[in-house]
Amino acid sequence: MKKQERYFQDELRRLLISYAIVPALVFALVSGVIFVTVLLYGRYRSVQRENQYVAEELQRVLDGYVGGLEELEQLPDLFAPDSGVREKQRLYETIYRLQNETRYPADFHVFDRDGKEHGEEPPEYLGRKGDANWGIFAAMDRRPGQVVIQLRNGWDSQEGVLAIGKSVEKGGYLVFTISSRQMQPILNQLNTQVIVTDAFGWAYLGNASLFLTENNQVRAALQGDDWFLTVDGKGYLAVRQAVEPGCLMAYSVTSIQNIVTSLVSSGLLMATALLGMSLWLLMASGRVTEKKTADFYQILDVLEQVKQGNLDSAISIRSENEFQVIADACNEMMSGLKEQLEKNQKMAVLVAAAQNKQLESQFNPHFLFNTLENIRYMCKLEPATAERMVFNLSGLLRYSLNGSEAEVTLREDMEHLENYLSILQYRFGERFHCRMEVEPEVLECRIPKLVMQPMIENAVKYGFGKQEKLEVEVKAYRNGDRLMMICRDDGVGMTQELVYELTHLLDQEENSSRHCGLYNIHRRILLLYGYPNGVEIRSTEGYGTTLIVRLPFRREE
Amino acid sequence: MKTVRKYYICLLCLIALAGCAAIGQGAGKTQGTGSTAERLVVYCPHPFGLINPIVSEFENQTGIPVEVVTGGTGGLLDRVAAKEQPECDVFWGGSLTSVKPRAELFEDYISANEDMVREEFRNAEGCLTRFTDLPSVLMVNENLQGDISIEGYQDLLDPRLKGKIAMCSPSSSSSAWEHLINMLYAMGDGEPEEGWDYVGQFVANLDGVLLQSSSAVYQGVADGSFVVGLTFEEPAAHYVSVGTPIRIVYMKEGVISRPDVVGIVRGTCHREEAEQFVDFITGKDAQTVITASLDRRTVRSDVKGAEYLPDKEDIHIIYDDEVLTGQKKAQWLERFRELYEQSAPSGQFGGEAGDEAP
C-alpha cells in the first residue's frame, strides 16, 4: 500500500494549490495594479486641474492688460507733459478697473521716445533706452505697434517682473509691469507645486525650488514632456502648459512619494500575508489531503486485499460522509461473498471426498478376471500356489475396500503392493520382473492409497505386446518439496497417438473409457492436492513407457 | 488541472511583463529629458551677476535658448577637451593667458565688431575674440582689515594675514594664474625670475589654504572667511556697487590688466548661433551695459569707460612678456606647486599643473 502511487491525493493537493495560492497571487497583483493606476490617475488629474487653473488665470491676467494697453492707447494727450484733470481721471479710472478685473494689480508706466518717465530714467530691470538698445525697449522698438511680453530679472527669485509693453505711434511706450510678488496669491490656493517660466526657462513664479537651478531657471528634467519624473530618487508627476504661446510656460509638479510609500508598505504587508499563506498551504496541503483521502485509500486497500483473495479484512470508517456509505456497502458485500465462498468450499470438500472414495474403490475388473482365471488353472496344477494367490488377492481387495482413510504412507502402500506383485509373479513367472528403488527418506511420505498398483498395471497392460519378457523399474525420491514416483518399463512403448489420447483423457472431468486405472490416480491426486500434481505419461514406440507421478512431499507427523 | 495552471502562469507572466514595461518606459522617459540639442551651450567662469543679464537679453533678442555651465577656467577647459555633456559650443571667459595655451580647442572666427575693438584688444590668434579688459586686484574686507595696511603685494606677507588670504590654485583659475604672473613681474621688477623669492614667502603666508574656484575667492572675502582675496576687478567692483564693505586695491607694485576672451569651440554643431553670441556680447549695446552696470572695462573704442572705476592712467600698469609667459606656463605652475607643497606638505594642490600644455 505504501508503495502505491497516490494519484487521487496528489490531484486533490494540486487542486487546493492552484485554486487557492495562484488565484490569491493573481488577484493581489491585479488589484494592486488597478489600485496604483487609480491612485496615480487621480493624482495626475488633480495636478492637471491645478495646472489648468494657473494657466487660465495667467492668460486672463495677460489678456486683461494687453486689452488695457490697447484701450489706454486711445486716450488723448497721454504723452503730453501736463495733461488735464479730466484726462488724468479717465486714465486712473481705466487702470483701477483693469486692476480690479484682473485681481492682480500691475504698475503702469508711460515713457517718452527717449525712454524717460516724467524726465526720469526707467527702472533698471526694464533695461535702458539711452546708450544701449537693451531690454524691453529694444524688444518694443523691434516690433512697433505690437504688444511685447517679457520677463525681466528672471534670474532673481524675488525680483522677477513681467513687463507687457507696446511702442505707440503717438510718441512713446506704454508698459504694464507685474512683479512676481503681486502674482504670488495665485499660488496660495494650490496643493501642487507650480513654476511659471518664460520661454527660456527663467522662473517668474514658483514654489518648487527643487525644480529650479541656483540661477532660478527651471531644471531640464521638468522641461521635457514626461509625466513622471524622478529627482533624488523620489517620484513626481508633472504637467505643463503654455500660456500665451511663446511667452510663458506653467509647470505643475506633485510628489507621489506618499503614494509610493504607502504602496510599498501595503505591498509588503500583502506579500508577507501571501507568503505565509502559501507556505502554510504548501506544508499543510499534504497533511490535509492525506487525512481527507485516508478513508478512500482504506477502501482501496481492502479492495486490493480482496483481489488477492483475502476476505477477512473489514473497512472501518467513522467519518459521517459518502465514504461511510461506500464502506458499509463494501463490508456488506464482502461478508456476503465470504459466506458464499465458505459454503462453496465446504461443498467442494464434500464432493471431493465422495469422489475419491468412489474412485479408490474401483478395482480393475480385467485384473480380477485374469487373476481368477489363473487361480482356476493353478487349482488343478499347483493347489498350494493357488491358495497363496487367493490369499494375496483377498489382501489386496481388503486394502482397497478399507475406506477409513484416504491417505497412507508410502511404506504401507508398498507393503500392499507386494500382494499385487506376487500375483503378477505367479501369473507371468520368469517373463515379468519388477525392481523397486525407494529412498528411505520418502518411505514415511503420505500418499493417496493404491497409487503404485495402477502404475505397474499400466506397464503390464501396454508393455508386453508381443514381447517375451518385461522389466519394470519403480523409483521414488524427493525433489525439493515434491515427491517423485517414476515407473519405467522396457516394453513396446506407445504410439504418439496413444500418448496424446491418454494425456487428453487424464484431463477430462469424467471418465467413460476403460483406461480407468491411470485416470483414477490422476483424478484423485488433483482432488487431494490440486495442480500441478498428477500423472505424466512419456513413451516412445519401441523403447518402453515412463510414468511420472508428482505429489507434494509431506511426511507422517 | 495542468491547463489551469498553465493559464495562470501565462497570466502572471503577462502582468509582470506589463509592469516591467511600464516601469521601463517611465525610467526611459526620465532619462531622456534634459536634451540640449536645441540649446546653445556656453561654458563660462564668470559670476552669475554678469552672465544672467547678458544671456537673458541675448535670448530675448535672438530667441536662441542658452544653457550656461559655470566653473573655474582650467576645469572648464578640461571639460571642453574631454567633450563632456552638455557639449560646449562657446567658451566665454578666462583670461587670454589661460585660454591661449588651449587655442587648438577653438575655431577661427573674427567677430562683426572687430573693427570697433581697440588696437591692443584685436583678435590676433584668429580664434580668441577679446571680451573685456580685466585688471588683477586685491579685494579687501574693510571690516576685518583692522589696522593692517594693504596697498600691494608686499603687504600680503604680514604675519597677521597668515591663513587669511583667499587665492585660487593658478592651474584651475585664470584669475589666480594672472596674479601669479603679476606677482612675478611686479615683485621681480620686470624680471619674473627675480619674483620667485616673494612668491615663496607669499605661499608660506597662505598657510596651506588654496581654493578651487575663483568664485570662492570673492565670496570668501565678502562673507568674512578671508581678509583679502586675489581676484579680478569685476567681481570686487560688483560687491562695492551693492554696498558690501569691500575695498579694491590696485597693487602699488604694479597691475597687469589682461583681456578675457570668448571662443567658438571646434566642432560645434551650433556654429551660426555661436557666432551670433560672440557678436552680441562684443556688440555696442552689450558692451555699453557691461561698462555701465556690470563693473567691467570695455574693449571697444566707441564705448565710454565706467564712471565709478578709476581710469587706467591712475593705476600703475605694468606689462609682461606674453610670449615668455606662454612658454613658461607649465614650468611656473610646477614651481608654484612645489613651493606650495613645501609650505603645506599635507595640503592639496588644486589640479595638476602638468595637465596644461605650454
Tens digit of each residue's pLDDT (9 = 90 or more) over A445-490: 888 888 888 888 888 888 888 888 889 999 999 988 889 999 998 8
Tell me the C-alpha to C-alpha distance, in Å, between residue A232 and each of A228, A257, A297, B108: 13, 11, 63, 41
Nearest to B168 by CA among B205, B111, B217, B226: B217
- Contact assignment for A128 to B65 by CB distance below 8 Å: no
Sign of CA dihedral B79, B84, B85, B89: positive
The pTM for the full model equals 0.64
Nearest CA in chain A to B8: A22
Half-sphere exposure of A506 (CA within 13 A, CB side): 21
Strand partners, B62: none
Chain B contacts of A220, Cβ < 8 Å? 33-36, 67
Q: Measure A200 CA to nearest chain B CA, in Å.
A: 6
Q: Is B288 on the interface with A (CB under 8 A)?
A: yes
Cell numbers for B83: 567633450
- Contact assignment for A220 to B33 by CB distance below 8 Å: yes
Q: Measure A236 CA to nearest chain B CA, in Å.
A: 11
Q: Which residues contact A138 (CB under 8 A, 6 or more apart)?
A: A127, B57, B60, B61, B285
Whole-angstrom Cα Rg for chain A = 64
In this prediction, residue A318 carries a pLDDT of: 73
| Residue A84 in this model has a pLDDT that exceeds 80 | no
Alpha helices, DSSP H, located in A436-536:
452-463, 496-506, 516-529
Chain B (53-82) residues lying within 8 Å, Cβ to Cβ, of chain A:
53, 56-57, 59-61, 63, 65-68
Q: Which residues contact A298 (CB under 8 A, 6 or more apart)?
A: A315, A316, A317, A327
Q: Is A199 on the interface with B (CB under 8 A)?
A: yes
Query: pLDDT by residue for chain B (358 residues), tens digit each?
Result: 455 556 656 555 565 655 544 444 444 333 333 444 578 999 998 888 889 999 999 999 998 999 999 988 889 999 999 998 889 999 998 888 889 888 999 999 999 999 999 888 988 889 999 999 989 999 999 999 889 999 999 999 999 999 999 999 998 888 899 999 999 999 998 889 999 999 999 999 998 889 988 889 999 999 999 999 999 998 898 898 888 999 999 999 999 988 999 999 999 999 999 999 999 999 999 998 888 888 888 999 888 877 778 888 888 999 888 888 888 889 999 999 999 988 876 555 544 333 332 2
Nearest CA in chain A to B284: A132
Q: Measure B26 CA to nearest chain A CA, in Å.
A: 6
Burial category of B144 from C-beta neighbours within 10 Å (exposed 0-12, middle 13-18, buried 19 and up): middle
Chain A (332-351) residues lying within 8 Å, Cβ to Cβ, of chain B:
none
In terms of DSSP bridges, do strands A446-448 and A482-489 run parallel, antiparallel, or are they unpaired? unpaired
The reply to whether omega before B86 is within 30° of 0 (cis) is: yes
Task: Suggest the residue from A14, A200, A248 to mutate for an interface test with chain B (most B CBs closer than 10 A).
Answer: A200
Tens digit of each residue's pLDDT (9 = 90 or more) over A190-239: 888 999 999 888 999 988 888 888 888 888 888 888 888 888 888 899 99
Burial category of A424 from C-beta neighbours within 10 Å (exposed 0-12, middle 13-18, buried 19 and up): buried
Q: Measure B306 CA to nearest chain A CA, in Å.
A: 13
Q: Measure A139 CA to nearest chain B CA, in Å.
A: 7
Task: Suggest the residue from B20, B29, B60, B241 to mutate for an interface test with chain A (most A CBs closer than 10 A).
Answer: B60
Q: What are phi and psi of B170, to 5 degrees?
A: -65, -20
- 3-state SS string for chain B: CHHHHHHHHHHHHHHHHHHHHHHHHHHHHHHCCCCCCCCEEEEECCCHHHHHHHHHHHHHHHCCCEEEEECCHHHHHHHHHCCCCCCCCEEEEEEHHHHHHHHHHEECCCCCCHHHECHHHCCCCCCCEEEEEEEEEEEEEHHHHCCCCCCCHHHHHCHHHCCCEECECCCCCHHHHHHHHHHHHHHCCCCHHHHHHHHHHHHHHHCCCCECCHHHHHHHHHCCCCCEEEEEHHHHHHHHHCCCCEEEECCCCCECEEEEEEEEECCCCCHHHHHHHHHHHHCHHHHHHHHHHCCCEECECCCCCCCCCCCHHHCCECCCCHHHHHHHHHHHHHHHHHHHHHHCCCCCCCCCHHHCCC
| Residue A277 in this model has a pLDDT that exceeds 70 | yes
Q: How far apart are CA A252 and CA A241, in angstroms?
A: 9
- Contact assignment for B60 to A150 by CB distance below 8 Å: yes
Chain A contacts of B289, Cβ < 8 Å? 127-128, 132, 134
Q: How far apart are CA A148 and CA A215, in angstroms?
A: 24
In this prediction, residue A392 carries a pLDDT of: 87
Amino acid B170 reads P
- Coil, helix or strand at residue A348: helix
More confident residue, A19 or A401: A19
In this prediction, residue A516 carries a pLDDT of: 66
Q: How far apart are CA A378 and CA B256, in angstroms?
A: 175
Q: How far apart are CA A339 and CA A322, in angstroms?
A: 26
Q: Are B210 and B171 in contact (CB under 8 A)?
A: no
Q: Are A254 and A237 in contact (CB under 8 A)?
A: yes
Q: How far apart are CA A447 and CA A528, in angstroms?
A: 10
Q: Which residues contact A157 (CB under 8 A, 6 or more apart)?
A: A180, A203, A206, A212, A216
Helix (H) or strand (E) holding A31: helix A21-73
Q: How far apart are CA A36 and CA B139, in angstroms?
A: 59
In terms of DSSP bridges, do strands A470-479 and A432-438 run parallel, antiparallel, or are they unpaired? parallel
More confident residue, A309 or A151: A151
Q: How far apart are CA A123 and CA A135, in angstroms?
A: 11
Cell numbers for A90: 479717465
In this prediction, residue A2 carries a pLDDT of: 47
Sign of CA dihedral A375, A381, A385, A388: positive
ipTM rounded to 2 decimals: 0.71
Q: Measure B132 CA to nearest chain A CA, in Å.
A: 17
- Contact assignment for A223 to B34 by CB distance below 8 Å: yes
Q: What is the mean pLDDT of residues A322-343?
A: 85
Q: What is the mean pLDDT of residues A381-399?
A: 85
Q: Are A229 and A208 in contact (CB under 8 A)?
A: no
